[in-house]
Structure 1
Amino acid sequence: MKKTVWLTASLMMMSITLPSCGGSTQQGQEQQAQAMPYKTMSVSAGDRELEQSYSATIRGRQDIDIYPQVSGRLTQVLVNEGDVVRKGQTLFIIDQVPYQAALAQAKANIQAAKAALSTAKITLDAKQRLFNEKVISQIELDMARNNYQSAEASLAQAKAAELSAHNNLSYTTVTSPADGVVGTLPYRQGTLVSSAMPSPLTTVSDNSQMYVYFSLGEKMLLDLTRKYGSLEAAVKSMGAVQLRLSDGSLYESTGTVESISGVIDRTTGASSLRAKFANPNHLLHSGATGSIILKHSYSNIIVIPQAATYQLQDKVFAYKVVDGKATSTLITVEPINNGTEYLVTDGLKAGDVIIAEGAGLVREGAAVAPAQSETKK
């Protein structure tokens, strides 16, 4: 009877214990299933050429506003919009009649001043003889000498007035100060013009060489200065640059970055750079727009997608997969990027496995079940 009771009790204990063991196995499987599937990648080093594009405006080497230096009515407009002109070529003629009359008057005044000077000289010589003979006083001699000096001054004034009248007459012929292309012509024949006009007669653009202006942000400037030691050294490192025109085509010639502004624009937070391009076929026009393309070549560099990173207080982090868990890792990247990738200079090495996208949603220490793996070169 006792054996029967003991056997029954043992069977009951086994029936209680077996479900308990099955529950533990199921819990382990659930914990393993909590590992999230993430796209991962194995990083590797390689060579990379990176392009950056910046909006740009195109200007002639000289965009010269042509204002009249004298007032009057336009009697002739000798060019059309878009004409190619040479330095010294006549563009406009302003009514010359009043200035010709002024020049004639100035020349007549010179003759009168010369006659007055001659008379004063004769008088001074006569007074000097009389003074030597003690016929007149020193005062009379001094007065004659003063009259002569005054006549000399009057002649000098007349000559200056004649030069001014001559210059004013020459200003009625408005010429091009440089080789270039004529811009718009807002004023027509018969218009009264003056040097105080709000807008110029036209603009002559010297487009044998073109200046292309683009901007870099303050952070980029700081990064480049730290990397190369100075902005001048950073400019030299840029090498040849390309220009993409507004129709999407690349300009046939490369250019060089010549200068960078030492002042950051308060409104844009950027500094202006100037590149120079030759324009032998006059394809580029002042006032046009385009994009400057900067190319940067790197050797043995690790490249990862920006989606594989997150930022915290201006620092960049990526998640390495270590022992199946996400481990946040501080990385150092090149200041230059193409908007989709980072070039990593420190923090990762070839062979490291990282989470390839959605890094901002990952938690430190999260279990990682690779959903897809690739190698980045």
Structure 2
Amino acid sequence: MLLRQAAPNRLSILVGCLALAACGGSDKASEKGRGQTGTPEVGYVVVQPTSVPLTTELGGRTAAFQTSEVRPQVSGLIRRRLFTEGSIVQKGQTLYEIDPRLYQASANEARAALNSAAANADATRVKADRYRPLAEMEAVAKQDYTDAAAQARQAAAAVAQSRAQLETARINLRFTKVPAPITGRIGRSLFTEGALVTASQTDPLTTISRLDPMFVDIQQSSADLLKLRRALASGGVAPSSAAVRLKLEDGSDYGQTGTVQFAEVMVNESTGTVTLRARFPNPQGMLLPGMFVRATFAQSVDNNAFLVPQAGVKRDPKGSTTVLVVSADNKAVERKVTATRVVGPNWVVTAGLKAGDKVITEGTARAKAGQPVKPVPAGAAQKFNTQPAKSGDKSAPTKN
């Protein structure tokens, strides 16, 4: 009876030992499979220096291309207003008519004075001409001829003076019709018919603005301008004449492009900025004076910059920027670089790289600085087997 019970116990112990042995062998096989990960494969791009425009986005305000404040040049009562508020007026078009009667009378008086002076001048000239031969024959005293000639010249001067007075009176008479000094859109009238206006008043009758083309006054800090000028002086950066694009107040893009005309030579003491003026076409009148806009343009071009895909650039909490570069012996080398801004999908690197460097942009999570890597050109199809190797499989993880 005892023999019969011992046999099953020995059988159970044997089965348990075999199970433990199998488990131990499986664990060893798994550890062996996980240890055979192999050299990580990474994708790289070969960087070369290129010309990259240094794009700047600044705020600005629109301003009319031409602005004219219409003021009277003579005093009087406004008899008529001859324009529609808000319409387009042409240069020379009559806008207001001031009562001309007083100035018409002044012109008539000046014309009469001119005629009188002309008649006197004719008489004195004839008298001097008659005295000339008589004085030569000593029939009259030479002094009499001298006086007659002087009177003739005085009369001629009086004619010229009267003619100038008549011209002044005519000009004042023409000023009773107030013309448009420029072509543009006219604003509201600040004076009505029957209002008294004077030649020395400070308030304009109305304002005319030419809105096509338009100016955009862009504000740039003097520190940024100094930085740009130093870069231009160093030779690595060249000036640019790229077009300027606008973003309107509602966030939409303005369809037309403009160009920078000039930069002021003085810094605003209160804001510390320099004004750059750009010119934009405005055929549809979308831009109005005083609008706030955002201007994007390239002030210069960096001829020695590198474009690195964003996936290959890392930043640490301290703000340092690094990339991994494939060395000559196929090892990942960490390189500190200067990445100033983003252009599309790339970082613009201005320092830390040289022509021909192989920057790792794919598989950066697997690559470690100082460790060997298997470099392939970026963009190649890569799919790594992340499952642990089975027991008895002595091959490394494969790439499909």
Identify the TM-score tier after normalising by the shorter chain.
0.5 to 0.7
Question: Counterparts of 1:157-172 in structure 2 under 5 Å?
Answer: 157-172=161-176
RMSD: 3.6
In 2, Cα distance between equivalents of 1:285 and 1:300: 40
> Residue deviations 1:128-164, cap 9 Å, x none?
2432342322222111111000000000001111111
Residue 183 of structure 1: how far off its partner (Å): 2.2
Seen in structure 2, the aligned counterparts of structure 1 residues 306 and 138 have a Cα distance that, compared at 3 Å, is: farther
Question: What is the aligned partner in structure 2 of residue 300 from structure 1?
Answer: 306
Question: What is the aligned partner in structure 2 of residue 89 from structure 1?
Answer: 93
What SS does the corresponding residue of 1:195 show, helix, strand or coil? coil
Residue 277 of structure 1: how far off its partner (Å): 0.8
Q: Percent identity?
A: 29
Question: What is the aligned partner in structure 2 of residue 318 from structure 1?
Answer: 320
Question: What is the aligned partner in structure 1 of residue 240 from structure 2?
Answer: 237
C-alpha contact 1:74 1:188 (8 A) present in aligned 2: yes
Question: What is the aligned partner in structure 2 of residue 215 from structure 1?
Answer: 219
Of 260, 273, 279, which residue of structure 2 is paired with 1:276? 279
Seen in structure 2, the aligned counterparts of structure 1 residues 130 and 273 have a Cα distance that, compared at 3 Å, is: same
Question: What is the aligned partner in structure 2 of residue 255 from structure 1?
Answer: 258
- Corresponding position: 1:345 with 2:353: no
What SS does the corresponding residue of 1:243 show, helix, strand or coil? strand
Residue 240 of structure 1: how far off its partner (Å): 1.2
> Residue deviations 1:185-236, cap 9 Å, x none?
2222222223322222222111221111111111111122122349xx97x5
In 2, Cα distance between equivalents of 1:193 and 1:254: 43
In 2, Cα distance between equivalents of 1:306 and 1:192: 74
Q: Which amino acid aligns with 2:291?
A: A
Question: Counterparts of 1:82-121 in structure 2 under 5 Å?
Answer: 82-121=86-125
What SS does the corresponding residue of 1:240 show, helix, strand or coil? coil
Q: Which amino acid aligns with 1:277?
A: F
What SS does the corresponding residue of 2:223 show, helix, strand or coil? helix
What SS does the corresponding residue of 1:292 show, helix, strand or coil? strand
Q: Which amino acid aligns with 2:116?
A: A
In 1, Cα distance between equivalents of 2:314 and 2:108: 78
The alignment's TM-score, normalised by the length of structure 1, stands at 0.67
Q: Which amino acid aligns with 1:201?
A: L
Question: What is the aligned partner in structure 2 of residue 61 from structure 1?
Answer: 65
In 1, Cα distance between equivalents of 2:316 and 2:83: 61
> Residue deviations 1:328-355, cap 9 Å, x none?
x986565x789xx984411478459xxx
Seen in structure 2, the aligned counterparts of structure 1 residues 177 and 241 have a Cα distance that, compared at 3 Å, is: same
Question: What is the aligned partner in structure 1 of residue 388 from structure 2?
Answer: none
The alignment's TM-score, normalised by the length of structure 2, stands at 0.64
**Which sections of structure 1, spanning at least 5 residues, go unmatched?**
1-42, 311-316, 323-328, 353-377
C-alpha contact 2:245 2:257 (8 A) present in aligned 1: yes
In 2, Cα distance between equivalents of 1:342 and 1:92: 62
In 1, Cα distance between equivalents of 2:314 and 2:69: 47
Seen in structure 2, the aligned counterparts of structure 1 residues 307 and 212 have a Cα distance that, compared at 3 Å, is: farther
> Residue deviations 1:25-64, cap 9 Å, x none?
xxxxxxxxxxxxxxxxxx9979998864322111221112
Of 194, 198, 203, which residue of structure 1 is paired with 2:198? 194
C-alpha contact 1:80 1:185 (8 A) present in aligned 2: no
Question: Counterparts of 1:62-77 in structure 2 under 5 Å?
Answer: 62-77=66-81
In 2, Cα distance between equivalents of 1:337 and 1:64: 44
C-alpha contact 2:72 2:175 (8 A) present in aligned 1: yes
Q: Which amino acid aligns with 1:289?
A: F
In 2, Cα distance between equivalents of 1:321 and 1:206: 53
Seen in structure 2, the aligned counterparts of structure 1 residues 248 and 199 have a Cα distance that, compared at 3 Å, is: farther
C-alpha contact 1:208 1:282 (8 A) present in aligned 2: yes
In 2, Cα distance between equivalents of 1:76 and 1:309: 73
Seen in structure 2, the aligned counterparts of structure 1 residues 194 and 342 have a Cα distance that, compared at 3 Å, is: farther
C-alpha contact 2:214 2:282 (8 A) present in aligned 1: yes
In 2, Cα distance between equivalents of 1:134 and 1:293: 91
Q: Which moved more, 1:67-76 or 1:44-53?
A: 44-53
**Which sections of structure 2, spanning at least 5 residues, go unmatched?**
1-43, 325-334, 362-400
C-alpha contact 2:61 2:290 (8 A) present in aligned 1: yes
In 2, Cα distance between equivalents of 1:306 and 1:242: 31
C-alpha contact 1:71 1:193 (8 A) present in aligned 2: yes
* Count of matched residue pairs: 294
Question: Which structure has the larger Rg over C-alpha atoms?
Answer: 2
Seen in structure 2, the aligned counterparts of structure 1 residues 85 and 244 have a Cα distance that, compared at 3 Å, is: same
